[in-house]
Amino acid sequence: MSNILGLGGVFDLIMLAAVMGIITAALVFPLTFVRRAKQFGYPSTRAYLQAAPRTDAEKRDAADLALRGLVLSALGLLFPPFILMGLLPLFYGGRKLVWASMGLGLVDDADVPHA
């Protein structure tokens, strides 16, 4: 007696799970960015993503963001659409970490008078 679902049925279930995962990630990541922007006191999500981390909590958050993006991009080896979902957090988290390691963003540009 052969498998009840058959090989095609198992493949369909795997693809359905991958599509549902992509849809879930597409909904969860923007909400996570909005929540974190409010948590750290930024006026908008865009300001949060563009700012260099100011505190240790923001640096930990940037590392977490970069690692989540890296994991999603690595999952892209199995399910290619995950690469696209992982690029956004990998880019912004990585950029924040690089800025923090270089010491950039320690002085707010609005406070520095221009010559």
Token pair 């359905």: residue = 16
Q: How many domains does the chain have?
A: 1
CA 115/CA 5 separation, integer angstroms? 72
Q: Which domain holds residue 60?
A: 16-105
Q: Is the pTM of this model over 0.75?
A: no
pLDDT band at 6 (very low <50, low <70, confident <90, very high): low
* Three-state DSSP class for residue 34: helix
3 belongs to a structural domain: no
The conformation of residue 4, written as its DSSP 8-state character, comes to S
pLDDT tens, 49-79?
Answer: 888 888 888 888 888 888 888 887 887 777 7
9 belongs to a structural domain: no
Cβ-contact 99, 53 below 8 angstroms? yes
1 belongs to a structural domain: no
Confidence check: pLDDT of 27 > 50: yes
111 belongs to a structural domain: no
99 belongs to a structural domain: yes
Give alpha helix (H) positions in 1-115. Answer: 6-39, 45-50, 56-75, 81-102
pLDDT of residue 43: 92
% of the chain with per-residue pLDDT over 70: 82
